[in-house]
Amino acid sequence: MAFSSVNEAFIELLKRIELNPARVTLASQRYNAIKTTVENALPGKTVSQIGSFQRKTKIRPADLGDALDIDAVVNFKRFSMISSLCG
């Protein structure tokens, strides 16, 4: 496939390696469902997105099945070991 410009070739490369909009939407819906579930089950805890979705550098996985890799962290806030041992 011949390209008339570097920009055109780069756009084609991005199309080939990035997730399509439908999979991005699906990943977002799944993350939001997990976030809501965890935050409702663990009051005071927060879930934050990390990894390629958070950095907006996600690429298409080799396996285009239903599985999606979404990285998240649950923040349990800061606590002091000394006060819990002495309290």
Domain segments of the chain as ranges? 19-86
Taking the C-alpha atoms of residue 73 and residue 1, their distance in angstroms, rounded to an integer, is 42
pLDDT at 83 over 50: no
Average pLDDT over residues 22-47: 90
pLDDT tens for 44-75 read 899 998 887 777 777 776 666 667 778 888 98
Q: Whole-number mean pLDDT of the chain?
A: 79
Give the pLDDT score at 71.
84
Helix (H, G, I), strand (E, B) or coil at 6: helix
pLDDT at 6 over 80: yes
Q: What share of the chain is helix, strand, coil (3-state, %, to 5)?
A: 50, 10, 40
Please, which residues bridge with residue 74 across strands?
47
Taking the C-alpha atoms of residue 52 and residue 17, their distance in angstroms, rounded to an integer, is 13
